[in-house]
Amino acid sequence: MDATAAADIELSGVRKEYAGGSVAVSHLDLHVPAGSLTVLVGPSGCGKSTVLRMVNRLIAPTAGNILLDGQDTSRIDKVALRRKIGYVIQHVGLFPHQTVSQNVATVPKLLGWSKPRIAARVEELLDLVGLDSGMHGRRYPHQLSGGQRQRVGVARALAADPVVLLMDEPFSAVDPIVRHRLQGEFLRLQETVRKTILLVTHDVDEAVRLGDRIALLSEGGKLEQYAPPAELLARPASAFVAEFIGTDRGIKRLSVTDIDPAVLRPVGEADRDSPEVSAAGTLYDALAALLEGGTGHVVVRSGENLLGAMTADDVYRAAQAEVAAA
Ligand SMILES: Nc1ncnc2c1ncn2[C@@H]1O[C@H](COP(=O)(O)OP(=O)(O)OP(=O)(O)O)[C@@H](O)[C@H]1O
Ligand SMILES: [Mg+2]
C-alpha cells in the first residue's frame, strides 16, 4: 500500500441549497491538509453529511468550489474522482445480500481487477481492520456484531487505496467500550495508511481523540471554529463553541495534553507505593492514576526508567501552562 498517497482538500465558498429552499450549508471555507485527519462536529442537521456528499460529488454544491490537490472536482470525471475517495456512509450501509468479502471487493471489482488480485486485497484489508478473512469473509453483514460491521465498512472504503477517506459517523453504532477500542485501532491504522480523512461525528470526545483538527459547525454549515483539539478546548471562539464542547472542557483538555518531563519532581522513597503512569500518557491518565492511588503522587515511567513524580498540584499547573501556551 502506498503510504504517502494523500490529497489536499480545499472547500471555498461552498453552499448547498436543497430543492425546496432549505439551506444545508450557507457558505463554507475549509482547508483539509493532505494526510491530516479533520473532524467535522456539530448538532444534528447542521450540514455535516451534506459536506461529505459534496466532496465526492454525490450531490453538487449550489455555489463555490471544491478542489482536490488543486483540481476543481466538478471538472474531474465522477468515476475517476470516486476511485480516489473512500466513503464510509452513516449507518455503515453494507450490502446485506453480499458476504463480507464481496462487500469489501465492491470497488476493485468495478475497476476490473483480476480475481486473484481482489482476493489478496480483501484478505489484506480484513487483516488490517482486525478481522479474520477465513472466519468473517464468508459471513453476511447480519452475522456480524455492530463493531465488526463498522470495520468492514472501513475496509470497503479503503479497498482501492483511495487518497481521501470520507467517514460519516463510522463508530456511532457501538457501545462506548467497543467504540473506544475501534477508535484506537483506527488511529493506528491511520499511522499506517496516512490518508486525508474527513470524519463526521457529533461526539466531542471522539473528535478530540481522533482529530488533528476539529471543524465545529453550527446550523447552516456555519464554521464556528477550526482548530486543533487542544486549542478548541482551551480557547473556544464563541459561546456556541463553549456550550457545544461542554462545561467539562477543562477535563477533556487534560486528555490532549502530554506529560512534560520538565515539570516532574525527583522520585522519592515514599514513591515506592505510588501509582505509575506511562510517559506516553496524558495529564488525564496522570490525574486518573493519582485519584486511584492514595499517596498523592504519581510516578511517570518510560520503559525501565522512572522519569519523576507528579502531584495533583503539578497536574493543575501543567494544565494551566498549556492553556497559556495554546
Ligand atoms: N435531500 C434533501 N432534501 C432537502 N433537505 C435536505 C436533504 N438532505 C438533507 N437536508 C437538510 O439539510 C440539512 C443538513 O442535513 P445533513 O444531513 O447534512 O445534516 P447532518 O449535520 O449530517 O445531521 P446528522 O448529525 O443528523 O446526521 C438538514 O436540515 C436536512 O434536513
Ligand atoms: Mg449526517
Per-residue pLDDT band for 227 (boundaries 50, 70, 90) equals very high
Summary mean pLDDT of the chain = 89
Distances (CA, A) of 157 to 35, 253, 292: 16, 31, 41
At 181, the pLDDT band (50, 70, 90 cuts) reads confident
**What was the pLDDT predicted at 325?**
74
Region of 64 please: left (phi>0), alpha (psi -120 to 50) or beta. left
21 close to ligand 1 (CB < 6 Angstrom) = no
Please tell me the predicted confidence (pLDDT) of residue 250. Answer: 85
Least confident of 87-101, 251-265, 283-297: 87-101
The string over 26-62, giving b where at least 16 C-beta atoms fall within 10 Å of a residue's C-beta and e elsewhere, is bebebebebbbbbbbbbeeebbbbbbbbbbbbeeebe
* Per-residue model confidence (pLDDT) at position 3: 41
Q: Which atom of ligand 1 is nearest to the CA of 20?
A: 4
238 lines ligand 1 (CB under 6 A): no
Q: Which three cell numbers stand for residue 132?
A: 479474520
Residue of higher predicted confidence among 308 and 150? 308
CB of 91 shorter than 6 A to ligand 1: no
pLDDT band at residue 4, thresholds of 50, 70 and 90? very low
Mean pLDDT, residues 67-81: 91
pLDDT beyond 80 at 5: no
Has residue 269 got a pLDDT over 50?
Answer: yes
Looking at per-residue confidence, does 147 or 243 come out higher?
243
Nearest to 169, CA basis, from 196, 142, 146: 146
In the prediction, which pLDDT does 182 show? 78
Reported as a single tens digit per residue, the pLDDT across 58-72 is 999 999 999 999 999
Question: For residue 1, is pLDDT > 70?
Answer: no
Radius of gyration of the chain (CA): 22
At 326 the pLDDT is: 65
Element (DSSP H or E) covering residue 83: helix 78-84
Q: What pLDDT does residue 92 have?
A: 67
pLDDT of residue 2: 42
Tell whether the model's pLDDT for residue 319 goes beyond 60: yes
More confident residue, 269 or 226: 226
CA distance 25 to 218: 10
DSSP string, 280-291: TSBHHHHHHHHH
Determine the atom of ligand 1 nearest the C-alpha atom of 90: 27
Percent of the chain with pLDDT over 90: 57
The full set of domains in the chain, from first to last, is 9-248 (3.40.50.300), 257-325 (3.90.1280)
Mean pLDDT within 10-23: 93
Query: What percent of the chain shows pLDDT beyond 70?
Result: 98
Of the given ranges (115-124, 134-143, 199-208, 317-326), which has the lowest mean pLDDT? 317-326
C-alpha 197 to ligand 2 mean position (Å): 16
pLDDT class of 105 with cuts at 50, 70, 90: very high
pLDDT > 90? residue 323: no
Tell me the CA–centroid distance for residue 113 and ligand 1, in Å.
36
At 232 the pLDDT is 93
Q: Which residue CA neighbors atom 14 of ligand 1 most closely?
A: 47
Nearest Cα residue to 31 out of 241, 220, 212, 229: 212
Summarize the confidence of residues 171-183 as an average pLDDT: 78
